[in-house]
Protein backbone atom coordinates (compact mmCIF):
# COMPACT_ATOMS: atom_id res chain seq x y z
CA UNK A 1 0.00 0.00 0.00
CA UNK A 2 1.63 3.12 -1.24
CA UNK A 3 1.94 6.02 1.06
CA UNK A 4 -1.73 6.58 1.80
CA UNK A 5 -2.47 8.33 5.07
CA UNK A 6 -6.05 7.21 5.58
CA UNK A 7 -6.55 9.04 8.88
CA UNK A 8 -5.39 12.30 7.34
CA UNK A 9 -7.62 11.79 4.30
CA UNK A 10 -10.62 11.10 6.53
CA UNK A 11 -9.98 14.34 8.45
CA UNK A 12 -9.67 16.32 5.26
CA UNK A 13 -12.41 14.83 3.10
CA UNK A 14 -14.68 12.75 5.34
CA UNK A 15 -16.04 9.28 4.59
CA UNK A 16 -17.10 7.36 2.60
CA UNK A 17 -14.25 8.29 0.32
CA UNK A 18 -12.87 6.85 -2.91
CA UNK A 19 -9.08 7.06 -2.94
CA UNK A 20 -6.83 6.36 -5.92
CA UNK A 21 -3.10 5.77 -5.79
CA UNK A 22 -1.99 7.62 -8.94
CA UNK A 23 1.38 5.91 -9.14
CA UNK A 24 -0.42 2.60 -9.23
CA UNK A 25 -2.71 3.82 -12.04
CA UNK A 26 0.33 4.93 -13.98
CA UNK A 27 2.13 1.67 -13.37
CA UNK A 28 -0.86 -0.26 -14.71
CA UNK A 29 -1.13 1.88 -17.84
CA UNK A 30 2.58 1.60 -18.51
CA UNK A 31 2.34 -2.15 -17.91
CA UNK A 32 0.14 -2.53 -20.97
CA UNK A 33 1.76 0.15 -23.09
CA UNK A 34 5.26 -1.30 -22.63
CA UNK A 35 4.43 -4.90 -23.46
CA UNK A 36 1.48 -4.84 -25.83
CA UNK A 37 3.67 -4.28 -28.86
CA UNK A 38 4.55 -6.03 -32.09
CA UNK A 39 6.96 -5.58 -34.98
CA UNK A 40 4.43 -7.15 -37.34
CA UNK A 41 1.35 -4.98 -36.79
CA UNK A 42 0.30 -1.82 -34.97
CA UNK A 43 -1.04 -2.15 -31.44
CA UNK A 44 -3.40 0.05 -29.48
CA UNK A 45 -4.42 0.04 -25.81
CA UNK A 46 -7.83 1.51 -25.02
CA UNK A 47 -9.03 2.31 -21.52
CA UNK A 48 -12.59 1.03 -21.06
CA UNK A 49 -13.89 4.18 -19.41
CA UNK A 50 -16.99 2.60 -17.94
CA UNK A 51 -14.80 1.11 -15.19
CA UNK A 52 -14.07 4.60 -13.83
CA UNK A 53 -15.10 7.60 -15.85
CA UNK A 54 -14.23 10.94 -14.29
CA UNK A 55 -12.48 13.82 -15.99
CA UNK A 56 -9.20 13.50 -14.09
CA UNK A 57 -8.91 9.82 -15.00
CA UNK A 58 -9.52 10.58 -18.66
CA UNK A 59 -6.88 13.35 -18.50
CA UNK A 60 -4.44 10.75 -17.25
CA UNK A 61 -5.38 8.34 -20.05
CA UNK A 62 -4.92 11.16 -22.53
CA UNK A 63 -1.52 12.09 -21.06
CA UNK A 64 -0.42 8.48 -21.55
CA UNK A 65 -1.48 8.56 -25.20
CA UNK A 66 -3.89 5.74 -24.70
CA UNK A 67 -7.14 5.39 -26.57
CA UNK A 68 -10.59 5.31 -25.02
CA UNK A 69 -13.63 3.09 -25.15
CA UNK A 70 -16.95 4.78 -24.38
CA UNK A 71 -20.32 3.08 -24.24
CA UNK A 72 -22.63 6.05 -23.90
CA UNK A 73 -22.99 9.71 -24.77
CA UNK A 74 -22.39 10.50 -21.09
CA UNK A 75 -18.96 8.90 -21.25
CA UNK A 76 -18.28 10.52 -24.60
CA UNK A 77 -19.34 13.87 -23.16
CA UNK A 78 -16.84 13.41 -20.31
CA UNK A 79 -14.11 12.71 -22.86
CA UNK A 80 -15.05 15.80 -24.86
CA UNK A 81 -14.90 17.84 -21.64
CA UNK A 82 -11.19 17.03 -21.29
CA UNK A 83 -10.44 17.50 -25.02
CA UNK A 84 -9.72 13.83 -25.49
CA UNK A 85 -8.48 13.26 -29.06
CA UNK A 86 -11.61 12.16 -30.90
CA UNK A 87 -9.72 9.94 -33.35
CA UNK A 88 -8.71 7.76 -30.38
CA UNK A 89 -12.25 7.08 -29.24
CA UNK A 90 -14.21 3.88 -29.88
CA UNK A 91 -17.94 4.16 -29.33
CA UNK A 92 -19.64 0.94 -28.18
CA UNK A 93 -23.19 -0.02 -27.34
CA UNK A 94 -25.88 -2.42 -28.46
CA UNK A 95 -28.64 0.14 -28.66
CA UNK A 96 -27.22 3.49 -29.64
CA UNK A 97 -30.05 5.84 -30.52
CA UNK A 98 -30.19 7.81 -33.75
CA UNK A 99 -29.31 10.94 -31.81
CA UNK A 100 -26.41 9.11 -30.10
CA UNK A 101 -25.01 8.22 -33.51
CA UNK A 102 -25.56 11.74 -34.82
CA UNK A 103 -23.82 13.18 -31.78
CA UNK A 104 -20.87 10.82 -32.25
CA UNK A 105 -20.56 11.66 -35.95
CA UNK A 106 -20.89 15.39 -35.40
CA UNK A 107 -18.09 15.15 -32.85
CA UNK A 108 -15.95 13.08 -35.23
CA UNK A 109 -15.58 10.04 -33.02
CA UNK A 110 -12.77 7.92 -34.46
CA UNK A 111 -14.45 4.53 -34.64
CA UNK A 112 -17.96 3.31 -34.05
CA UNK A 113 -18.24 -0.27 -32.87
CA UNK A 114 -21.34 -1.44 -34.66
CA UNK A 115 -23.26 -4.05 -32.71
CA UNK A 116 -25.96 -5.24 -35.10
CA UNK A 117 -27.57 -5.05 -38.52
CA UNK A 118 -30.15 -2.43 -37.65
CA UNK A 119 -27.47 -0.16 -36.25
CA UNK A 120 -25.43 -0.47 -39.43
CA UNK A 121 -28.43 0.36 -41.62
CA UNK A 122 -29.22 3.38 -39.43
CA UNK A 123 -25.62 4.53 -39.41
CA UNK A 124 -25.41 4.28 -43.19
CA UNK A 125 -28.49 6.46 -43.52
CA UNK A 126 -27.14 9.01 -41.01
CA UNK A 127 -23.70 9.26 -42.64
CA UNK A 128 -25.41 9.97 -45.96
CA UNK A 129 -27.79 12.52 -44.46
CA UNK A 130 -25.01 14.34 -42.57
CA UNK A 131 -22.55 13.73 -45.37
CA UNK A 132 -19.98 12.40 -42.90
CA UNK A 133 -17.40 9.66 -43.30
CA UNK A 134 -17.17 7.12 -40.53
CA UNK A 135 -14.82 4.29 -39.49
CA UNK A 136 -16.45 1.24 -38.02
CA UNK A 137 -15.55 -2.11 -36.59
CA UNK A 138 -18.19 -4.80 -36.12
CA UNK A 139 -18.75 -6.47 -32.80
CA UNK A 140 -18.76 -10.21 -33.31
CA UNK A 141 -20.31 -12.81 -31.11
CA UNK A 142 -17.66 -15.50 -31.47
CA UNK A 143 -19.40 -18.03 -29.28
CA UNK A 144 -16.51 -17.80 -26.83
CA UNK A 145 -17.78 -16.93 -23.41
CA UNK A 146 -15.64 -16.60 -20.32
CA UNK A 147 -16.81 -16.89 -16.74
CA UNK A 148 -13.99 -15.76 -14.52
CA UNK A 149 -12.14 -19.04 -14.11
CA UNK A 150 -13.65 -21.07 -16.93
CA UNK A 151 -14.42 -20.41 -20.50
CA UNK A 152 -16.71 -22.16 -22.88
CA UNK A 153 -16.71 -22.28 -26.63
CA UNK A 154 -20.30 -22.92 -27.54
CA UNK A 155 -22.78 -21.62 -29.95
CA UNK A 156 -23.82 -19.02 -27.37
CA UNK A 157 -26.00 -17.45 -30.01
CA UNK A 158 -28.32 -15.53 -27.74
CA UNK A 159 -26.03 -12.87 -26.32
CA UNK A 160 -27.42 -9.36 -26.48
CA UNK A 161 -24.04 -8.21 -27.83
CA UNK A 162 -22.67 -8.54 -31.31
CA UNK A 163 -23.52 -10.44 -34.46
CA UNK A 164 -22.69 -14.10 -35.05
CA UNK A 165 -20.19 -14.71 -37.79
CA UNK A 166 -21.83 -16.28 -40.82
CA UNK A 167 -25.39 -15.54 -39.68
CA UNK A 168 -27.95 -13.96 -42.02
CA UNK A 169 -27.54 -10.66 -40.21
CA UNK A 170 -23.79 -10.85 -40.63
CA UNK A 171 -24.10 -11.47 -44.37
CA UNK A 172 -26.62 -8.64 -44.68
CA UNK A 173 -24.16 -6.36 -42.90
CA UNK A 174 -21.48 -7.17 -45.47
CA UNK A 175 -23.98 -6.21 -48.20
CA UNK A 176 -24.72 -2.89 -46.50
CA UNK A 177 -20.98 -2.20 -46.31
CA UNK A 178 -20.46 -3.02 -49.98
CA UNK A 179 -22.99 -0.40 -50.99
CA UNK A 180 -22.14 2.24 -48.38
CA UNK A 181 -20.66 5.52 -49.59
CA UNK A 182 -19.45 6.84 -46.28
CA UNK A 183 -18.79 3.91 -43.99
CA UNK A 184 -15.23 2.64 -43.89
CA UNK A 185 -15.16 -0.91 -42.55
CA UNK A 186 -11.96 -1.39 -40.54
CA UNK A 187 -12.34 -4.72 -38.77
CA UNK A 188 -13.82 -6.63 -35.87
CA UNK A 189 -14.33 -6.46 -32.16
CA UNK A 190 -15.01 -9.09 -29.54
CA UNK A 191 -15.33 -8.89 -25.77
CA UNK A 192 -15.77 -12.23 -24.09
CA UNK A 193 -16.41 -11.34 -20.47
CA UNK A 194 -14.92 -9.84 -17.36
CA UNK A 195 -12.60 -10.73 -14.49
CA UNK A 196 -11.08 -13.54 -16.59
CA UNK A 197 -7.97 -15.40 -15.45
CA UNK A 198 -7.72 -17.89 -18.25
CA UNK A 199 -5.67 -16.57 -21.15
CA UNK A 200 -6.79 -19.52 -23.28
CA UNK A 201 -10.19 -17.87 -23.55
CA UNK A 202 -8.60 -14.82 -25.18
CA UNK A 203 -6.35 -16.79 -27.46
CA UNK A 204 -9.34 -18.92 -28.55
CA UNK A 205 -11.27 -15.77 -29.40
CA UNK A 206 -8.29 -14.24 -31.13
CA UNK A 207 -7.70 -17.34 -33.24
CA UNK A 208 -11.33 -17.33 -34.31
CA UNK A 209 -11.05 -13.72 -35.38
CA UNK A 210 -7.85 -14.36 -37.28
CA UNK A 211 -9.59 -17.18 -39.11
CA UNK A 212 -12.28 -14.73 -40.19
CA UNK A 213 -9.63 -12.31 -41.46
CA UNK A 214 -8.72 -14.84 -44.15
CA UNK A 215 -11.87 -14.03 -46.09
CA UNK A 216 -10.92 -10.33 -46.39
CA UNK A 217 -8.43 -8.88 -48.82
CA UNK A 218 -7.37 -5.91 -46.77
CA UNK A 219 -5.55 -6.10 -43.41
CA UNK A 220 -8.11 -5.59 -40.64
CA UNK A 221 -8.19 -4.02 -37.20
CA UNK A 222 -8.88 -6.60 -34.49
CA UNK A 223 -10.01 -5.54 -31.05
CA UNK A 224 -10.15 -8.36 -28.52
CA UNK A 225 -11.81 -6.38 -25.76
CA UNK A 226 -10.97 -6.29 -22.07
CA UNK A 227 -11.86 -8.41 -19.09
CA UNK A 228 -8.43 -9.22 -17.63
CA UNK A 229 -8.81 -10.35 -14.03
CA UNK A 230 -7.54 -8.53 -10.95
CA UNK A 231 -6.80 -9.43 -7.33
CA UNK A 232 -9.78 -8.80 -5.08
CA UNK A 233 -9.00 -11.56 -2.60
CA UNK A 234 -6.30 -14.20 -2.37
CA UNK A 235 -8.53 -16.55 -4.39
CA UNK A 236 -7.79 -14.40 -7.43
CA UNK A 237 -4.57 -15.01 -9.29
CA UNK A 238 -4.31 -12.37 -11.99
CA UNK A 239 -1.94 -12.81 -14.88
CA UNK A 240 0.73 -10.10 -14.99
CA UNK A 241 0.42 -7.40 -17.70
CA UNK A 242 3.55 -8.47 -19.51
CA UNK A 243 2.36 -12.08 -19.75
CA UNK A 244 -1.13 -11.07 -20.95
CA UNK A 245 0.29 -8.66 -23.48
CA UNK A 246 3.03 -10.91 -24.81
CA UNK A 247 0.78 -13.97 -25.01
CA UNK A 248 -1.80 -12.11 -27.07
CA UNK A 249 0.74 -10.54 -29.39
CA UNK A 250 2.64 -13.82 -29.82
CA UNK A 251 -0.54 -15.79 -30.53
CA UNK A 252 -1.47 -13.28 -33.12
CA UNK A 253 1.96 -13.16 -34.74
CA UNK A 254 2.16 -16.95 -34.95
CA UNK A 255 -1.33 -17.36 -36.38
CA UNK A 256 -0.71 -14.66 -38.96
CA UNK A 257 2.43 -16.41 -40.10
CA UNK A 258 0.81 -19.85 -40.20
CA UNK A 259 -2.19 -18.60 -42.16
CA UNK A 260 -0.33 -16.14 -44.31
CA UNK A 261 -2.67 -13.28 -43.33
CA UNK A 262 -1.91 -9.68 -42.43
CA UNK A 263 -3.71 -7.46 -39.95
CA UNK A 264 -3.43 -3.72 -39.61
CA UNK A 265 -3.74 -3.44 -35.89
CA UNK A 266 -4.44 -5.39 -32.69
CA UNK A 267 -6.32 -3.59 -29.90
CA UNK A 268 -7.13 -4.42 -26.30
CA UNK A 269 -9.45 -2.48 -24.04
CA UNK A 270 -8.83 -3.16 -20.37
CA UNK A 271 -10.88 -1.25 -17.82
CA UNK A 272 -10.89 -3.05 -14.50
CA UNK A 273 -7.24 -4.13 -14.63
CA UNK A 274 -6.11 -0.52 -14.99
CA UNK A 275 -8.11 1.03 -12.17
CA UNK A 276 -9.34 -1.66 -9.75
CA UNK A 277 -6.27 -2.33 -7.63
CA UNK A 278 -5.30 1.34 -7.54
CA UNK A 279 -8.54 2.18 -5.73
CA UNK A 280 -9.51 2.08 -2.05
CA UNK A 281 -12.74 2.95 -0.32
CA UNK A 282 -12.54 4.41 3.15
CA UNK A 283 -15.44 4.16 5.59
CA UNK A 284 -16.09 5.01 9.21
CA UNK A 285 -17.42 2.23 11.41
CA UNK A 286 -20.46 3.30 13.38
CA UNK A 287 -22.32 0.73 15.43
CA UNK A 288 -21.46 -2.91 15.79
CA UNK A 289 -23.91 -5.66 16.61
CA UNK A 290 -24.00 -9.35 17.42
CA UNK A 291 -26.82 -11.63 16.33
CA UNK A 292 -26.99 -15.34 17.25
CA UNK A 293 -24.83 -16.35 14.30
CA UNK A 294 -23.18 -13.18 13.09
CA UNK A 295 -21.22 -10.17 14.13
CA UNK A 296 -21.78 -6.96 12.19
CA UNK A 297 -19.65 -3.87 11.76
CA UNK A 298 -21.80 -1.14 10.21
CA UNK A 299 -20.17 1.37 7.87
CA UNK A 300 -21.27 4.80 6.68
CA UNK A 301 -21.55 3.69 3.02
CA UNK A 302 -22.53 0.45 1.35
CA UNK A 303 -24.28 -0.64 -1.81
CA UNK A 304 -24.64 2.99 -2.89
CA UNK A 305 -20.85 3.29 -3.33
CA UNK A 306 -20.13 -0.39 -4.09
CA UNK A 307 -22.98 -2.42 -5.50
CA UNK A 308 -20.83 -5.28 -6.76
CA UNK A 309 -21.25 -7.56 -3.72
CA UNK A 310 -25.05 -7.17 -3.86
CA UNK A 311 -25.17 -7.38 -7.64
CA UNK A 312 -22.97 -10.40 -8.20
CA UNK A 313 -21.58 -11.65 -4.91
CA UNK A 314 -18.26 -9.93 -5.55
CA UNK A 315 -15.67 -10.53 -2.82
CA UNK A 316 -13.41 -7.93 -1.26
CA UNK A 317 -10.65 -7.74 1.29
CA UNK A 318 -10.47 -5.10 4.03
CA UNK A 319 -8.66 -3.87 7.11
CA UNK A 320 -9.31 -1.62 10.04
CA UNK A 321 -6.94 1.29 9.61
CA UNK A 322 -4.14 1.16 12.16
CA UNK A 323 -5.12 -2.34 13.27
CA UNK A 324 -3.79 -4.21 10.24
CA UNK A 325 -1.44 -6.28 12.36
CA UNK A 326 -3.71 -6.95 15.31
CA UNK A 327 -5.13 -10.37 16.01
CA UNK A 328 -8.10 -10.95 13.70
CA UNK A 329 -10.25 -12.87 16.11
CA UNK A 330 -13.70 -11.64 15.05
CA UNK A 331 -15.52 -13.06 12.06
CA UNK A 332 -17.36 -10.04 10.82
CA UNK A 333 -19.89 -9.04 8.22
CA UNK A 334 -19.48 -5.50 6.96
CA UNK A 335 -22.91 -4.01 6.31
CA UNK A 336 -23.87 -0.69 4.81
CA UNK A 337 -26.56 1.69 5.96
CA UNK A 338 -29.13 1.16 3.22
CA UNK A 339 -32.58 -0.26 3.84
CA UNK A 340 -31.82 -3.47 2.01
CA UNK A 341 -30.78 -6.77 3.59
CA UNK A 342 -28.44 -7.42 0.68
CA UNK A 343 -26.48 -4.27 1.49
CA UNK A 344 -23.41 -6.17 2.64
CA UNK A 345 -19.94 -5.28 1.45
CA UNK A 346 -18.04 -8.24 2.92
CA UNK A 347 -19.33 -11.34 4.66
CA UNK A 348 -17.62 -13.40 7.36
CA UNK A 349 -14.23 -11.76 7.24
CA UNK A 350 -11.65 -12.02 10.03
CA UNK A 351 -11.01 -8.63 11.63
CA UNK A 352 -9.83 -7.34 14.97
CA UNK A 353 -12.16 -5.82 17.53
CA UNK A 354 -13.52 -2.50 16.25
CA UNK A 355 -14.47 0.63 18.11
CA UNK A 356 -17.04 3.07 16.86
CA UNK A 357 -15.14 5.68 14.86
CA UNK A 358 -12.51 3.28 13.55
CA UNK A 359 -11.81 3.52 9.83
CA UNK A 360 -12.38 0.57 7.55
CA UNK A 361 -10.64 0.38 4.19
CA UNK A 362 -11.75 -1.95 1.40
CA UNK A 363 -9.19 -2.81 -1.25
CA UNK A 364 -9.41 -3.05 -5.03
CA UNK A 365 -12.46 -0.82 -5.32
CA UNK A 366 -11.15 1.34 -8.17
CA UNK A 367 -13.31 -0.28 -10.87
CA UNK A 368 -17.09 -0.22 -11.10
CA UNK A 369 -17.42 1.36 -7.64
CA UNK A 370 -17.76 5.04 -8.34
CA UNK A 371 -19.11 4.35 -11.83
CA UNK A 372 -21.91 2.15 -10.48
CA UNK A 373 -22.66 4.35 -7.47
CA UNK A 374 -26.24 5.42 -6.85
CA UNK A 375 -28.31 7.78 -4.77
CA UNK A 376 -30.47 4.99 -3.35
CA UNK A 377 -31.94 6.09 -0.01
CA UNK A 378 -30.77 9.51 -1.15
CA UNK A 379 -27.22 8.74 -0.13
CA UNK A 380 -24.72 11.31 -1.35
CA UNK A 381 -22.14 10.22 -3.90
CA UNK A 382 -18.78 10.19 -2.08
CA UNK A 383 -15.82 12.35 -3.04
CA UNK A 384 -12.94 10.99 -5.11
CA UNK A 385 -9.35 11.82 -4.19
CA UNK A 386 -6.17 11.12 -6.16
CA UNK A 387 -3.01 10.69 -4.14
CA UNK A 388 0.42 10.85 -5.71
CA UNK A 389 3.73 10.78 -3.84
CA UNK A 390 1.95 11.63 -0.62
CA UNK A 391 0.08 14.61 -2.11
CA UNK A 392 -3.70 14.47 -2.29
CA UNK A 393 -5.92 16.12 -4.85
CA UNK A 394 -9.70 16.27 -4.87
CA UNK A 395 -10.93 15.22 -8.32
CA UNK A 396 -14.61 14.91 -7.55
CA UNK A 397 -16.43 16.72 -4.75
CA UNK A 398 -18.77 14.91 -2.43
CA UNK A 399 -22.33 15.50 -3.55
CA UNK A 400 -24.29 17.95 -1.41
CA UNK A 401 -27.94 17.65 -0.34
CA UNK A 402 -28.76 20.65 -2.48
CA UNK A 403 -27.20 18.94 -5.49
CA UNK A 404 -29.23 15.89 -4.67
CA UNK A 405 -32.42 17.90 -5.12
CA UNK A 406 -31.11 20.15 -7.86
CA UNK A 407 -33.08 18.54 -10.67
CA UNK A 408 -36.31 18.05 -8.77
CA UNK A 409 -39.09 20.41 -9.68
C1 LIG B 1 -16.70 -3.72 -20.05
C2 LIG B 1 -16.00 -3.78 -21.32
C3 LIG B 1 -14.61 -3.71 -21.36
C4 LIG B 1 -13.74 -3.67 -20.12
O5 LIG B 1 -13.89 -4.78 -19.31
P6 LIG B 1 -12.98 -4.90 -17.99
O7 LIG B 1 -13.45 -6.15 -17.35
O8 LIG B 1 -13.26 -3.70 -17.15
O9 LIG B 1 -11.56 -4.95 -18.43
C10 LIG B 1 -13.99 -3.69 -22.58
N11 LIG B 1 -14.72 -3.75 -23.73
C12 LIG B 1 -16.05 -3.81 -23.73
C13 LIG B 1 -16.79 -3.86 -25.00
C14 LIG B 1 -16.74 -3.84 -22.54
O15 LIG B 1 -18.08 -3.92 -22.54
| 205 alpha carbon – ligand 1 mean position (Å) | 15
| 195 alpha carbon – ligand 1 mean position (Å) | 9
Burial 35-74 (b: 16+ CB within 10 A, else e): bbebeebebbbbbbbbbbbbebbbebbbebebbbbbbbbe
> Could you give the CA distance from residue 351 to residue 349 in angstroms, rounded to a whole number?
6
189 close to ligand 1 (CB < 6 Angstrom)? no
Q: State pTM to two decimals.
A: 0.96
pLDDT of residue 1: 55
Alpha-helical segments (H) within 36-167:
55-63, 73-81, 98-106, 117-130
Q: Pick the residue whose CA is nearest to atom 3 on ligand 1.
A: 226
| 50 alpha carbon – ligand 1 mean position (Å) | 8
Instruction: Assign residue 197 a region (left: φ > 0; alpha: ψ between -120 and 50; beta: otherwise).
Output: alpha
pLDDT of residue 156: 65
337 close to ligand 1 (CB < 6 Angstrom)? no
Q: What is the pLDDT of residues 307-322, one digit of tens each?
A: 999 998 999 999 999 9
92 close to ligand 1 (CB < 6 Angstrom)? yes
Q: Pick the residue whose CA is nearest to atom 11 on ligand 1.
A: 225
**Cβ burial, residue 408 (10 Å; 0-12/13-18/19+):** exposed
225 close to ligand 1 (CB < 6 Angstrom)? yes
pLDDT of residue 160: 84
- Nearest-atom number in ligand 1 for the CA of 270 is 9
pLDDT at 402 over 60: yes
For residues 247-257, average pLDDT = 93
pLDDT of residue 148: 57
Q: Active site includes 339? A: yes
Confidence category of residue 155, pLDDT binned at 50, 70, 90: very low
Q: What is the pLDDT of residues 312-365, one digit of tens each?
A: 899 999 999 999 999 999 999 999 999 999 999 999 999 999 999 999 999 999
pLDDT of residue 145: 73
Least confident of 144-153, 241-250, 301-310: 144-153
Tell me which of 154 and 187 has the higher pLDDT.
187
For residues 353-382, average pLDDT = 98
- Nearest-atom number in ligand 1 for the CA of 50 is 1
Confidence category of residue 144, pLDDT binned at 50, 70, 90: confident
69 close to ligand 1 (CB < 6 Angstrom)? yes
- Nearest-atom number in ligand 1 for the CA of 273 is 9
| 284 alpha carbon – ligand 1 mean position (Å) | 31
Alpha-helical segments (H) within 231-361:
241-259, 272-275, 308-312
pLDDT of residue 260: 87
pLDDT of residue 132: 97
271 close to ligand 1 (CB < 6 Angstrom)? yes
Q: Which positions ≥6 away from 370 have C-beta within 8 Å?
A: 18, 52, 54, 305, 381, 382, 384, 396
Confidence category of residue 159, pLDDT binned at 50, 70, 90: confident
Pocket probe mutation, ligand 1, options 32, 72, 269, max atoms within 8 Å of Cβ: 269
| 409 alpha carbon – ligand 1 mean position (Å) | 36
48 close to ligand 1 (CB < 6 Angstrom)? yes
For residues 265-284, average pLDDT = 98
> Could you give the CA distance from residue 206 to residue 190 in angstroms, rounded to a whole number?
9
Q: Give the residue from 107, 49, 52, 85 showing the smallest Cα distance to 281.
A: 52
pLDDT at 154 over 80: no
> Could you give the CA distance from residue 207 to residue 307 in angstroms, rounded to a whole number?
35
Q: What is the pLDDT of residues 169-179, one digit of tens each?
A: 999 999 999 99
115 close to ligand 1 (CB < 6 Angstrom)? no
88 close to ligand 1 (CB < 6 Angstrom)? no
Chain-wide mean pLDDT for the chain?
95
Confidence category of residue 259, pLDDT binned at 50, 70, 90: confident
| 52 alpha carbon – ligand 1 mean position (Å) | 11
pLDDT of residue 153: 57
| 153 alpha carbon – ligand 1 mean position (Å) | 19
Q: Pick the residue whose CA is nearest to atom 10 on ligand 1.
A: 226
pLDDT of residue 340: 95
Tell me which of 146 and 165 has the higher pLDDT.
165
From the candidates 252, 267, 318, 339, which is the catalytic residue? 339
> Could you give the CA distance from residue 199 to residue 196 in angstroms, rounded to a whole number?
8
Amino acid sequence: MANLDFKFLKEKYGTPLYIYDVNHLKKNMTGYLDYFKSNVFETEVLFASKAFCVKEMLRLVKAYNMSLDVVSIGELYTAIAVDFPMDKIYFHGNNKSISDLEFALNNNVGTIVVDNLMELVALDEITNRLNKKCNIIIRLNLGVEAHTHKFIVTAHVDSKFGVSYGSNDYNDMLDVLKNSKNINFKGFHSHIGSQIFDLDAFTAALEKMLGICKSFDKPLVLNIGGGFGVHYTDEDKPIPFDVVSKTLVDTCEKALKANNVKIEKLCIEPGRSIVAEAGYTLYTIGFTKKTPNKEYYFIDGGMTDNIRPALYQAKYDCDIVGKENELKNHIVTIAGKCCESGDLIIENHPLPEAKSGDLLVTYTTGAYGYSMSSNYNKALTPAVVFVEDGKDKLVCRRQSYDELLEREI
